[in-house]
Structure 1
Amino acid sequence: MMVSRKLRWLVLSGILLGTCGLPGFSEAADAGMHVDQVGYLNGYSKTAMVTDTGDTDFSLVDAKTGQTVYEGKLSAAKKDAMSEETLRKADFSSFNKEGTYKLRVGSRESYDFEIGDNVYAVPAVETWRSYTLSRSNTPIDDPVTGLKVKEGHAQDRQAQVYFTDKLNKKGDRLDVSGGWYDAGDYGKYVTTAAISSAELLLAYEANPSHFTRGQLFFPKGTQEETKLPDALQEVQFELDWMRKMQRKDGSMFHKVAGLAWPGFDKSPDTDTQERYIFGSCTSSAAMSGASFAIASRIYAPFDKAYGETMRKSAERIWGYLAKTKNPIYRVDEGQESGSGPYNKSTDIEERIWLAAELFRTTGDKKYEKYLQSVADRFTQKPSFFTWDNTLALGQFAYLKAQNANPALQAKVKAAFLGYADDITRKIESDGFGCALAKDEYTWASTKNALTQGDILLMANQIQPNAAYVEGALSQLHYLFGRNSLDKSFATGMGDNPPEHPHNRIHESTGAYVPGLIVGGPNAVAGGDPDQTAYLKSGHIPVAKSYLDVLTSWSTNEYAIDYTGTAAYALSYFAKPKAMNIDMLKLKRSYPPITKK
């Protein structure tokens, strides 16, 4: 019989410690009690959803004493289309006493959760730390998770170019060491590097006071002597790798990977296959330039020279694209055999984002002139941003820019805020307060929901609106278990997080890394064999189309751009908190399991 990681730990801790009452753990909850398993912030609404059984009353009970601390009435029952559940809402917004509680309805109880002023402080740190633990070419010995890696993919220092063109010959060896592994495999992709680093930088830019030195508890040997807050130091690690991927003409190589998918028994330091540098893509180049442009203005106050380096790298990409009018996605036979494509045959949205960030950073009107030349696309209502459509990010950058053309800026504002209002209406109509429409329960649906929350936080910077902030917070509640599956889609967070994420580091080393955001429900057939078989097994409600199994990469794989969406929101709602490594260990839902 398969025994879950959590159960094994509870049994082990009961033997060794004489109790299973460790912080962060609770007994199994009733499946119809849907709460944010991390917690609720004072000063904002606090609601949970309950599958209807006819009960009309609810109470909050102290998780330690069982004492009732609050009583209230459930809302009227209402059918939720995505989950196909009939729900009642428990609203305890007026209860503000800090502590750990459970929701009780009749004989049913929820998982426990905190109420307080800073309940997301530890999840914020863990989410950002997950990038450190995803570093390639870096010895890792992490005292929090137990992760030990000697040095992942040292061969990246002499990776081979996979193709021949006017700049390189096939077989040229280049140093492309550094950077973060993209997802559950060991590929390193410029596309997701660009959008992830950008969102992390924008999180810092929105709330710089929320970031400090010493905040991320860097494992020994990974921290540099610098005045940068830890968050910016971590992003710099990725930016420096991206610069290695820039070519002489200003363009970017597309990715670094092997020719075969490594087995799940292969840790980063035992995957010794040859590594190759693949492709070139104008959309990913433009995204890289946008990230460099953001970095230029953020790092300049700390290191003027580095800020200048970032600006020049962005401008070199702009110069390359100015000469390269047509979109390019280069693909050579065999290059996708051991890595994902991240292919896009157009690039207008990414060029817009690059131009807008360069305009915001430099004030040079030539970038605004380009935006005016593509105004038909630039002023359209956006969708949530993702690696293949960054229009919303370009619009946000332009709305934050100084000395912009008033008429153009007004049109962009109307489009951007119009989309934000669309998101709030979706949230208000959904039984769980989730931003996802039916056709948005796709691969990476968790990211889709969180990104829409991030857009609401960005919209709030343009035009303050409490509904935007509440809507963004609602997506964190969805992430941490206030959903029809009672599942936290963030590793190590809440009492029912993913146990079997599609992650080779996790599977090969036995170390469970918290803070990774997995894809979530995917109702589109063909995502992976397990998910496809599950959808064919019977009628599966859209919001429940998720599998917590290792091989379901379309529902249970993490990626750095998924995690970036959570990092942005958590960085808004979490304030710095004095903590130590022991506190992080106690908050973790799954201590590391060492493989024999």
Structure 2
Amino acid sequence: MIKYNGWLFFFIFIFCALNSSADEWIRINQLGYLPQSKKVAVFMSETPINLQEFALIDVFTGETKRTFRTLRAGGSIGKMLCTYRLNFSDFEEPGTYCIKAGNTVSPHFPINHRVYHGTADFLLHYMRQQRCGYNPFLKDSCHTHDGYIVYHPTKTGQHIDVRGGWHDATDYLQYTTTTANAIYQLLFAYQQNPEAFADAYNADGHQGANGIPDIIDEAKWGLDWLNRMNPAKGELYNQIADDRDHAGMRLPNKDLVDYGYGPGKGRPVYFCSGEPQVRGTYMNATTGVASTAGKFASCFALGAEVLKPFYPEFAQEIGAKADDAYQEGVKKPGACQTASVKSPYIYEEDNWTDDMELGAIELYRTTKNPNYLTQAIEYGRCEPVTPWMGADSARHYQWYPFMNMGHYRLAQTDNQRLSNEFIRNMRSGIQRTYEKAVASPFLHGIPYIWCSNNLTTAMLTQCRLYRETTGDSTYEEMEAALRDWLFGCNPWGTSMVVELPLSGDYPIQPHSSLLNAGVGNTTGGLVDGPVYRSIFENLRGVNMDGIPGRPGEDYKRFQPDQMVYHDAISDYSTNEPTMDGTACLTYYLSSLQKEGMKQANGEPDRNIYQDGGIIRTDPSKKQITLVFTAADKADGADPILRILKKHGIKGGFFFTGEFYERFPQVIQRLKADGHYVGGHSYGHLLYAAWENRDSLLVTREAFEKDLLKSYETMRKAGIAYKDASVYIPPHEYYNKQIAAWARNMGVQVINFTPGTLTNADYTTPDMKNYRSSRDIYNKVMEVEAREGLNGHIMLIHFGTADSRTDKFYDKPMEKLIKTLKKKGYTFVFPF
């Protein structure tokens, strides 16, 4: 192996390469890669280059781990005259790496089993932000007067309670079309991958576990609304509000648009009449009710199944409605489009047999009535392939949902002939897309119509479901390319999900009223994605205006000829997050998390997180983790080691690089006793201001330089960074940005569980916050009596000032261990 002359030289080399004005770039998946997965980066250059090889370099050691010749020329794209696909799929060793090719170096990225951990749950941040009715992000309510019926033959003008649901995007319209698809996808994601979802929020969307996975809380929020939109048999509603909503950016709780009922006093609720509807210049092309009715039916049937363990009465209620909704579609076949008043932009859904197919097969799954299966097959044969797949263009949401989940359900039946037929249908759609994709260096064959990222997510889902059903890996590289496209392996080098990863390049100016008002970003939202240049140039009101004081990013250097993407708040065509696209990504990301767990032979992660750091292990287990930190003191070494050995306890020890250099004998004793020995920074930096945790005191460069130096001292002590991947930040103080930077380096932040005050054992009698050992012991026992200590991480300092003669790490710690053992607790280090 080639080795650079010292890690510091290598670190400087990397940053110089990344910040140079070179005309070469390497695009990667910024989240990283699972060890056993397709891994392909894309090299691109503004000048021709005959690339023969590329190298994978270990960021921590500077070693070239391997040189590859597995690259394929990809032709030109925009100003990039030369592209190559760099395939390193057969490299599976966990670590943190970068790619060197030509005269450039990629951003670094991790390869490990946890790169997708928590990503599906992360998307739910945006879903909670989009809640209508009570909004937990704003801690306020909106649209509480909805709404007033229109287009009903006898009830027009009457008020109906249809509060709740989600706003569709930055506007506050609400559509059954997109909401039902989002609900179904959330339910399906949980049904397929329940072990991937955590419980960190309650039903209202506020932090705090309620015993129900967060994705179920979110699906229930949507189903409550859908239930209200079907108040009686034969009474289905398709839409709340219309494009009169487009009255400038304002927060939803400040929405005073007047639809004729008074400013902010209620909005129209559109009945599914089955006839074209118009309330202004434009008329839609509604031909029936089936597209909406099928969506109601599939959501109610699957919702009843998935929610039964959590909400049995509600599950029974919506389950009883599923067939009634389905029969409305049978009576009134055809597509039910949305309505518009002032503009021509609506969801122009043309197809409907796919919705009825899914409704029928879900009813069959719950009832086993063969008539539903027969009908599902008939509907499924009407549209073997979702028409956008392989097409160059389509009208807005013309063929929706973008993936036919009914085909997958039919492919799962016990009838082999039937299964083969619908597997073939799934494969045909993928093959059509693949035939377009091979012409792209990014292996991306999606038409760049409005919401192209939603189509990307749909094809991702279809590829994975097809591969899992058949074992056929023919399209696995395209699947990986679609995945990587969403997280930075695209011409612009940006993630398409806001703040995922927080350490990477992501949309910082999405089209959002939250951002416009300065109250936050659309965290977790999947933006629309690139559109054909012709679409962008012909839309009303789109431009490159950014937020005040910060222009929009036009990515001019990287724009392909045929399409554009911009990070600008005024570009609603490419940079607006959508609720349905975001929800549809939960299945795929949760599948990747489950796959990572399987590769690691690990159990579901039941740890409790705060700002990206683990602050408590599985609260269902009566176990405690002892961790010790030190910067420059080791006076507790003898009593701590003696007590832990006496009681058969393995602990975690986290030291600064300076400690490693000062106390090498202590490190060797800890290693000999089998304890975990990890990092605590090199120079004991303070990362964030005490008075404002979100205010960084270090740059990313300073953080990574210090971290690398810390791990270099550990390596000299015989501790490889791969064996010390959990890390307690200096001063036990960090924020979500620090945790994200660490995660990008392949390092997981952990910290003590708040509440017991064991971390106050450093205080001295002259301090206002002084806590004696008795105070600390009593506090631990108080917390234990009140709520238990299951999963607690207890931090004790490895050394304290001489002026503190009352050393908790000695007799008080042993007393605590003995007491807690008698209460049935075990002491483990589970990381």
Report the TM range for the smaller structure's normalisation.
0.7 to 0.9
* Counterpart residue number, 1:392: 404
Per-residue CA deviation, residues 305-337 of structure 1 (Å, 9 max, x unaligned), is 333222222212112223324555474xxx544
Deviation at 1:76, TM superposition (A): 4.7
User: Any residues of structure 2 matched to 1:146-157 within 5 Å, and which?
Assistant: 148-153=137-142, 156-157=143-144
Q: Is residue 236 of structure 1 aligned with residue 246 of structure 2?
A: no
Q: Is residue 315 of structure 1 aligned with residue 323 of structure 2?
A: yes
Q: Is residue 520 of structure 1 aligned with residue 520 of structure 2?
A: no
Distance (whole Å) between structure 2 residues aligned to residue 326 and residue 55 of structure 1: 54
Q: Is residue 204 of structure 1 aligned with residue 190 of structure 2?
A: yes
Aligned AA for 1:229? P
* Equivalent of residue 433 in structure 1, options 426, 443, 456: 443
Deviation at 1:264, TM superposition (A): 5.5
Name the SS for the 1:566 alignment partner. helix
- Is the contact between residue 259 and residue 339 of structure 1 (CA under 8 Å) also seen in structure 2? no
Aligned AA for 2:268? I
* Equivalent of residue 148 in structure 2, options 161, 167, 188: 161
- Is the contact between residue 381 and residue 418 of structure 1 (CA under 8 Å) also seen in structure 2? no
* Counterpart residue number, 1:504: 513
Deviation at 1:560, TM superposition (A): 1.4
* Counterpart residue number, 2:585: 566
Cα pair distance change 1:458/1:538, threshold 3 Å: closer
Distance (whole Å) between structure 2 residues aligned to residue 124 and residue 110 of structure 1: 26
Distance (whole Å) between structure 2 residues aligned to residue 538 and residue 482 of structure 1: 16
Distance (whole Å) between structure 2 residues aligned to residue 484 and residue 118 of structure 1: 26
* Counterpart residue number, 1:114: 110
Name the SS for the 1:484 alignment partner. coil
Q: How many residues are paired up? A: 544
Distance (whole Å) between structure 2 residues aligned to residue 207 and residue 253 of structure 1: 31
Cα pair distance change 1:134/1:87, threshold 3 Å: same
Per-residue CA deviation, residues 463-500 of structure 1 (Å, 9 max, x unaligned), is 12234455433311111111111121111124211121
- Is the contact between residue 202 and residue 217 of structure 2 (CA under 8 Å) also seen in structure 1? no
Higher relative contact order (CA 8 A, sep 6+): 1
Q: Is residue 541 of structure 1 aligned with residue 532 of structure 2?
A: no
* Counterpart residue number, 1:272: 256
Distance (whole Å) between structure 2 residues aligned to residue 295 and residue 442 of structure 1: 31
Per-residue CA deviation, residues 523-552 of structure 1 (Å, 9 max, x unaligned), is 1523434769999x9996356511111121
Distance (whole Å) between structure 2 residues aligned to residue 462 and residue 409 of structure 1: 10
Cα pair distance change 1:61/1:360, threshold 3 Å: same
Identity %: 21
- Is the contact between residue 288 and residue 314 of structure 1 (CA under 8 Å) also seen in structure 2? yes
* Equivalent of residue 363 in structure 2, options 355, 358, 378: 358
Deviation at 1:237, TM superposition (A): 0.8
* Counterpart residue number, 2:723: none
* Counterpart residue number, 2:471: 464
Cα pair distance change 1:588/1:163, threshold 3 Å: farther
Name the SS for the 2:612 alignment partner. helix
Name the SS for the 2:253 alignment partner. coil
Q: Is residue 86 of structure 1 aligned with residue 82 of structure 2?
A: yes
Deviation at 1:372, TM superposition (A): 4.8
- Is the contact between residue 29 and residue 485 of structure 2 (CA under 8 Å) also seen in structure 1? yes
Per-residue CA deviation, residues 342-381 of structure 1 (Å, 9 max, x unaligned), is 2435533322222222222222122233235446415457
Per-residue CA deviation, residues 175-200 of structure 1 (Å, 9 max, x unaligned), is 22211221121222111111111112
Cα pair distance change 1:270/1:100, threshold 3 Å: farther
* Equivalent of residue 550 in structure 1, options 560, 566, 569: 569
* Counterpart residue number, 1:41: 34
- Is the contact between residue 293 and residue 314 of structure 1 (CA under 8 Å) also seen in structure 2? yes
Aligned AA for 1:415? N
Aligned AA for 2:316? E
* Counterpart residue number, 2:375: 370
Aligned AA for 1:49? V
Distance (whole Å) between structure 2 residues aligned to residue 346 and residue 474 of structure 1: 28
- Is the contact between residue 359 and residue 398 of structure 1 (CA under 8 Å) also seen in structure 2? no
Normalized against structure 1, the TM-score is what? Answer: 0.81
* Counterpart residue number, 2:612: 583
User: Any residues of structure 2 matched to 1:485-496 within 5 Å, and which?
Assistant: 485-494=492-501, 495-496=504-505
Cα pair distance change 1:104/1:264, threshold 3 Å: farther
* Counterpart residue number, 1:418: 428
Name the SS for the 1:158 alignment partner. coil
Cα pair distance change 1:480/1:538, threshold 3 Å: closer
Deviation at 1:517, TM superposition (A): 0.8
Between 1:342-351 and 1:477-486, the stretch displaced more is 342-351
Distance (whole Å) between structure 1 residues aligned to residue 399 and residue 331 of structure 2: 22
Cα pair distance change 1:136/1:329, threshold 3 Å: closer
Name the SS for the 1:526 alignment partner. helix
Distance (whole Å) between structure 2 residues aligned to residue 468 and residue 420 of structure 1: 8
Cα pair distance change 1:339/1:286, threshold 3 Å: farther
* Counterpart residue number, 1:445: 452
Structure with max Cα Rg: 2
User: Any residues of structure 2 matched to 1:53-92 within 5 Å, and which?
Assistant: 53-63=49-59, 68-73=64-69, 75-80=71-76, 85-92=81-88
Distance (whole Å) between structure 2 residues aligned to residue 540 and residue 341 of structure 1: 28
Cα pair distance change 1:276/1:77, threshold 3 Å: same
Per-residue CA deviation, residues 104-139 of structure 1 (Å, 9 max, x unaligned), is 224422222221112011432211332122222224
Between 1:177-186 and 1:76-85, the stretch displaced more is 76-85
Deviation at 1:340, TM superposition (A): 6.0
Name the SS for the 2:223 alignment partner. helix
Name the SS for the 1:41 alignment partner. coil
* Counterpart residue number, 1:246: 230
Cα pair distance change 1:258/1:346, threshold 3 Å: closer
Cα pair distance change 1:461/1:91, threshold 3 Å: closer
Deviation at 1:165, TM superposition (A): 2.4
Distance (whole Å) between structure 2 residues aligned to residue 330 and residue 79 of structure 1: 41
Runs (5+) with no aligned partner, structure 2:
1-11, 258-263, 273-288, 391-396, 545-552, 595-603, 614-735, 742-831
User: Any residues of structure 2 matched to 1:163-178 within 5 Å, and which?
Assistant: 163-170=150-157, 172-178=158-164
Cα pair distance change 1:245/1:569, threshold 3 Å: same
Runs (5+) with no aligned partner, structure 1:
1-20, 141-147, 590-596
- Is the contact between residue 382 and residue 415 of structure 1 (CA under 8 Å) also seen in structure 2? no
Distance (whole Å) between structure 2 residues aligned to residue 255 and residue 369 of structure 1: 31
* Counterpart residue number, 2:483: 476
Cα pair distance change 1:173/1:582, threshold 3 Å: same
Between 1:81-90 and 1:378-387, the stretch displaced more is 378-387
Per-residue CA deviation, residues 444-480 of structure 1 (Å, 9 max, x unaligned), is 1112122111001121242122344554333111111
Q: What RMSD, in angstroms, separates the aligned Cα atoms of the two structures?
A: 3.5
* Counterpart residue number, 2:124: 128
* Counterpart residue number, 2:631: none
